[in-house]
Structure 1
Amino acid sequence: MAKNKNINYKGPYGYQKLKEREPRACIRFKCALTNTILDVLRQRPGWVEVKEEGEWDFYWCDVRWLQENFDHTYMDEHVRISHFRNHYELTRKNYIVKNLKRFRKQLEREAGKLEAMKCDFFPKTFEMPSEYHLFVEEFRKNPGITWIMKPDGVRCDDQKDEIPVENYVAQRYIENPYLIGGRKFDLRVYVLVMSYIPLKAWLYRDGFARFSNTRFTLNSIDDHYVHLTNVAVQKTAPDYDPEKGCKWMIQQFRLFLTAKHGAEAVEILFAEMDNIFIKSLQSVQKVIISDKHCFELYGYDILIDQDLKPWLLEVNASPSLTASSQEDYELKTRLLEDTLNIVDMEGRLTGKEKRVGGFDLIWNDGPVSRADGNLDTPMNGFVANTHLGYNNDRKKQLKQLFKSVQTQQKN
């Protein structure tokens, strides 16, 4: 792919001189999706869309392209694509179960049982049919427990799962979910991984709670409007109110919990969610092919039970970027703009940033202290380091960030 000259980049916060790197007159992008990400890419200053056969510097690809083309495509140093080659180690249910079990045993050997117990955030799951006998044994020991069958290929919100579904998993159903207004919900949280070796992960401050449309009961386990929280499902409910919707911003959710349970309990809960993000990524760190051209924006789905314990339901390699409302569109636009800011095709960052827009660096080959300078405070065995659900004053932060970076580059 061609190499061009350095330029002065006109960004949303003024002119910024690009760092010296493989210089390009513009950033050529391709996008396999036709939703919010395409809007963001087309509106980004200095970025130019190319057609199917054109050369590109950045590709927001789908998993099919990755499977069919990655190993046969030459990429210059600066080129970036939006998935790791074997992302399914984290995003397929049968694989993540195996990886978490293996990682838990490793932690128990190396750090003891207390550390290993920090991996107990995934509902008990058996791969079918290979673990059928283990499932039957567990079922007989606990005959009153509700189990659900799921395809082992994770649902992709905006893309079809290109890996054929041949197996299923039997997973213990969380029968005591935390309810708000009598309704079940889960949380969608965004984690951006720039590298697995070393592990470098960012957590987005915004996210949302997705509610079911019908009050929770175990008497109708097959009622999708009771037990599922997908917006695509809930908006088909006969009594769905599109003006009211079925989402809360995660800031609203955090305030609700704080008012009801107190700040300390909520801080512990959110620290435990941090633990889920880090431990799940560490569990696949040695098996993910960490190519320097790759990054990944994951959508984590978290369920909270009545004891304020968070459970990991699944990790999505293709979280929905299709907006269900104006508020949803604005959230996803901010999320994607900040993802591109961290991928940093323009070469504006120093690499030492702890916060970029709405993203906070939560792991950089080790835990990262809060950007405000406070030391990490262990709470209930976990490190409270999260900014999830905090005020996202991203415009102010980005202005200060790029002004600071520009000053450093001049000096």
Structure 2
Amino acid sequence: MAVIKDFDEFVGVHGILLASSGIPSCLYHELFLKLSSDRFDGGNFFEIESCEDGRQRRLILSSESMNKDSHVFLVDHAWSFRLPDARKQLQDVQGLAERMAVLMCVAEGSVSTSAALNNEAKELEDGIPIDNPMDVVMRKFDESREGGEVVRWLELEELDIDDTMLLSFDIPSKFPDLLALNLWGNKIQNVETVINEITKCRRLRAVWLNENPVVQNCGDTIMDLLLQGLPDLEIYNSKFTRNYTEWAVGFAAGVYGSERPCLDNVTDQLVDITNLDLSNRCIHWLSNKVFSPTAMPLLQNLNIRGNPLDEGSSPDLFKLLRGFNCLQSLEVDIPGPLGRNAVEIIESLPLLSSLNGTPASKITEDEKEIVDSILEPRLLEWDAGEPLIERVMSAMWFYMMTYRLADEQKIDETPVWYVMDELGSALRHSDEPNFRIAPFLYMPEGKLASAISFSLLWPIKNVRQGDECTRDFLFGIGEDKQRSARLTAWFCTPQGYFIQKYKKYVHLLESTRFCRPLLEAPVTNSILPSDGRALHVYTDIPQVDEFLTRKEFVLTNDPKDADIIWTSFQVDEEIKNTIGIKDHQYINQFPFEACLVMKHHLAETIHKAHGLPEWLQPTYNLEAQLSELIGDYHIRKNEGFDNLWILKPWNMARTIDTTVTGELPAIIRLMETGPKICQKYIEHPALFKGRKFDLRYIVLVRSMRPLEIFLSDVFWVRLANNIYTLDKSSFFEYETHFTVMNYIGRLNHMATPEFVMEFEKEHQVKWLDIHQRTCNMIREVFESAVVVHPEMHCSSSRAIYGVDVMLDSSFQPKLLEVTYCPDCTRACKYDTQAVVGSRKHIKGRDFFNDVFGCLFLGESTSCTQL
């Protein structure tokens, strides 16, 4: 087909895509013109500014005011990929990692975490050479001698100063009146050198040693030692010490600095302060001797976020803050030292007009509306020397967007992720955005094969020149879909709230008491007709058609004539009525079996029955339990525990859209590709010759009430191909962390007896002990269904299920999932073929004949009742 050149043809081909994008119809023609001419003209209307000390960027309207729905802009996709391919593309595509690093503000030279919080200490004087540290010191010394000026502030930042050089400067003798010393970003290593030299500067009030090896090795020990020798030290690495006075407050307010280190009457200099940022200063107590309405009577805006203020001080703190008659705006952690919610704070400080950037009137109307706006952005932290690709792999979760092509032939294909170009990626979040952006597939030849992906950007409000242009990161997602919790992917949400949610959840589960179902008489063992005729079986599964050869069973092509219907499709009431299935016909599935075979229902069933059994890893349904998961994550991180998780779609097989990650933003963002559970990853599994493995057990269920289940003596071992590692670079390596190789990777199975023998030898264990623990666990799984879902019982149901199990490093079984009958039936054929090699047909035939014999005739040679 020729390239589309006509507007009507464009709308006809793209009508559904245009409607789904949400773009107003009045912009269709402009969009057509820009797509036809490949016109990216955003640079004529917008400019990108650095913010958050260089760790984020924002988009500003640089042109004249723009009205709602007045323009549409094309935004290119700088990087499109499927998640498993991300790392390889960064490695293989020349320049991609470097471009992404700059776009995501994690390139070499980007401001690091500590530098961003302490930017005020990094003001080098213009014209001073930085290649020779001694020249810097001597120049400052000579200037002070010639001009007769007392040097009180000395900047020696990022000059590669080591211990020997520091001693050679003889700073205490050259600058006896020094108040502030900046040694940020040097190579000082010896703590004794630091203490012995710096404490000779007896008048020091501030010192910066950030990003020196000595700080990384000794931590806050240096601060304690410095305080012993420097009684006037008020600031250490931008943190306030316990000795802080009006001088430190004046420094935070910009009254003092390298140009004006000190004045005679400190208190008088605070009188004119209207804005004071005390965030992240490690302040434990706001002393009213230093921080007082008398000293700062004009204070209007105050930020005290990020300080470990003693929550027991809240009554005194409220009293202190109420004394500032001009205070209009307050920034504070919520929950925090002033209370657990915004309404409480506003009611206690009635003169406030703004809390955390939100009008007080809006807060009192509906506190939920401010949940998003009171949050500080989550800024990526990285270790010095961390490879560029690793930084991009962590930062990408703040920028990526996703879509999935509706291709009926590839319905289970993994979704596409993409990163917009520099303009689109500079759009930051707002609950009340002035722009909207949406993905769009342009098909210039009218066919999907010619499709090119863009994003469309247009104003949804009137915007003035100089305004920041924003979008809603969670467009269309409200609190009913856990909006506030999901914003944790981009913002520092209050940990305390989520930790409390988690603790309540755990307490509820721990109070669960399991009651075993009462034993009842066994069901009838055989359903053979009394006249001796064979049972008619209808099936649409090729393996059953091929392997079921017992004389007691005969295949039929008409389900109405069948005694047994063994099918791959779900049989519900509608299907029964359509096909004409009667109550006396046996079906290979139980009603409500979703409580076992769908991952989120399985976890819920087990939790209701057993609480938190050791054999089930901590598991959360992200569609309903995201807050609890975030709380669990924070506790593990704060206590230094393992924090690796695996995300699995509710009801997909073959590890499709399954991801291993230790990044909380990644966990939350992965919700966008479909409903998932998040389960604690078994970080230390039992290994076989250094590789992961899992076990597929086959469970035959003859009855749910009473529970009558059998375990096939045949189970299958599935092995990963690569040596197991917890290196971050391996998390997207399918053949390292996953074991199902029937569809991806090299098939790597072993015969069960051979595996058992070699495993016992490698680990010096008895497999029978492991097997018995596994049998007990499987029994408890199905007992859970009996107790929680008695509606599963159906006298005309028989089924087989696959139960996937992994062993941890202590050889304790852990439940992975339960697969439903058709999946298990098909897998048996593939796994049997892999296990027994050239005898696959004989073994396959024996297996299926024995399954049908156990379920319908009450006899078996290879099944054990549990």
The TM-score range, normalised by the shorter chain, is 0.5 to 0.7
What percentage of residue pairs aligned between the two structures are identical? 19
CA drift at 1:248: 2.0
* Structure-1 residue corresponding to 2:815: 312
* Structure ranking higher in strand proportion: 1
Q: Secondary structure at the match of 1:153?
A: coil
Q: Distance in 2 between matches of 1:280 and 1:185?
A: 21
**Computing the radius of gyration over CA atoms, which structure comes out larger, 1 or 2?**
2
Instruction: Tell me how many residue pairs correspond in the alignment.
Output: 306
Q: 1:6-33 CA deviation, whole Å, 9 max, x = no partner? A: xxxxxxxxxxxx9984546332211121
Q: Distance in 1 between matches of 2:645 and 2:559?
A: 48
Q: Distance in 1 between matches of 2:654 and 2:533?
A: 35
Equivalent residue letter for 2:677:
V
Relative distance call for 1:46 and 1:203 in structure 2 (3 A) is closer
Superposed, 1:311-390 pairs within 5 Å as 311-317=814-820, 318-319=823-824, 320-323=827-830, 325=833, 327=836, 329=840, 330-344=842-856, 349=858, 356-362=860-866
Q: Secondary structure at the match of 2:815?
A: strand
Superposed, 1:219-368 pairs within 5 Å as 219=727, 220-233=730-743, 236-237=744-745, 240=746, 245-262=747-764, 265-286=766-787, 287=789, 288-317=791-820, 318-319=823-824, 320-323=827-830, 325=833, 327=836, 329=840, 330-344=842-856, 349=858, 356-362=860-866
* Structure-2 residue corresponding to 1:147: 645
Equivalent residue letter for 1:56:
A
Q: Secondary structure at the match of 1:231?
A: coil
CA drift at 1:67: 6.4
Equivalent residue letter for 1:357:
T
Superposed, 1:166-181 pairs within 5 Å as 167-181=675-689
Relative distance call for 1:38 and 1:19 in structure 2 (3 A) is closer
Relative distance call for 1:331 and 1:310 in structure 2 (3 A) is farther
Q: Secondary structure at the match of 2:602?
A: helix
* Structure-2 residue corresponding to 1:378: none
Q: Is 1:48 aligned to residue 554 of structure 2? A: yes
Q: Is the 8 A contact 1:154 1:316 kept in 2?
A: no
TM-score by length of 2: 0.33
* Structure-1 residue corresponding to 2:595: 89
TM-score by length of 1: 0.68
Q: Secondary structure at the match of 1:94?
A: helix
Q: Distance in 2 between matches of 1:19 and 1:202?
A: 17
Q: Is the 8 A contact 1:63 1:83 kept in 2?
A: no
Q: Is 1:25 aligned to residue 533 of structure 2? A: yes
Q: Is the 8 A contact 1:191 1:299 kept in 2?
A: yes
Q: Is the 8 A contact 1:210 1:230 kept in 2?
A: yes
* Structure-2 residue corresponding to 1:134: 628
Q: Secondary structure at the match of 1:69?
A: helix
Q: Secondary structure at the match of 1:306?
A: coil
Q: Distance in 2 between matches of 1:46 and 1:153?
A: 35
CA drift at 1:185: 0.7
Q: Which moved more, 1:213-222 or 1:198-207?
A: 213-222
Q: Is the 8 A contact 1:93 1:154 kept in 2?
A: no
Q: 1:324-382 CA deviation, whole Å, 9 max, x = no partner? A: 536263444322111111123xx5x5xxx6xx2100112xxxxxxxxxxxxxxxxxxxx
Q: Is 1:60 aligned to residue 566 of structure 2? A: yes
Equivalent residue letter for 1:145:
N
Structure 2: tracts of 5 or more residues without a match: 1-525, 656-672
* CA root-mean-square deviation: 2.6
Q: Distance in 1 between matches of 2:528 and 2:538?
A: 24
Relative distance call for 1:100 and 1:213 in structure 2 (3 A) is same
Q: Secondary structure at the match of 1:315?
A: strand
Q: Is the 8 A contact 1:190 1:204 kept in 2?
A: yes
Q: Which moved more, 1:52-61 or 1:183-192?
A: 52-61
Q: Is the 8 A contact 2:566 2:588 kept in 1?
A: yes
Equivalent residue letter for 1:126:
Y
Q: Is the 8 A contact 1:188 1:302 kept in 2?
A: yes
CA drift at 1:289: 1.8
Q: Is the 8 A contact 1:206 1:331 kept in 2?
A: no
CA drift at 1:180: 1.3
* Structure-1 residue corresponding to 2:288: none
Q: Distance in 2 between matches of 1:216 and 1:172?
A: 17
* Structure ranking higher in helix proportion: 2
Q: Distance in 1 between matches of 2:633 and 2:527?
A: 60
Q: Which moved more, 1:50-59 or 1:212-221?
A: 50-59
CA drift at 1:274: 0.9
CA drift at 1:214: 1.3
Q: Is the 8 A contact 2:685 2:807 kept in 1?
A: yes
Q: Secondary structure at the match of 2:715?
A: strand
Q: Is the 8 A contact 1:125 1:171 kept in 2?
A: yes
Q: Distance in 1 between matches of 2:559 and 2:849?
A: 26
Q: Distance in 1 between matches of 2:654 and 2:764?
A: 36
Q: Is the 8 A contact 1:204 1:335 kept in 2?
A: no
Q: Is the 8 A contact 2:559 2:581 kept in 1?
A: no
Q: Is the 8 A contact 2:559 2:565 kept in 1?
A: no
CA drift at 1:186: 0.4
Q: Distance in 1 between matches of 2:734 and 2:852?
A: 36
Equivalent residue letter for 2:739:
T
* Structure-2 residue corresponding to 1:187: 695
Relative distance call for 1:202 and 1:46 in structure 2 (3 A) is closer
Q: 1:106-165 CA deviation, whole Å, 9 max, x = no partner? A: xxxxxxxxxxx7x321111110121010011011111341112111115289xxxxxxx9
Q: Distance in 2 between matches of 1:281 and 1:37?
A: 25
Superposed, 1:180-219 pairs within 5 Å as 180-219=688-727
Q: Distance in 2 between matches of 1:293 and 1:194?
A: 9
Superposed, 1:147-166 pairs within 5 Å as 147-155=645-653
Equivalent residue letter for 2:742:
A
Q: Distance in 2 between matches of 1:168 and 1:175?
A: 20
Q: Secondary structure at the match of 1:202?
A: strand
CA drift at 1:53: 5.9
CA drift at 1:74: 4.7
* Structure-1 residue corresponding to 2:96: none
Q: Is the 8 A contact 1:206 1:251 kept in 2?
A: no
Equivalent residue letter for 1:359:
C
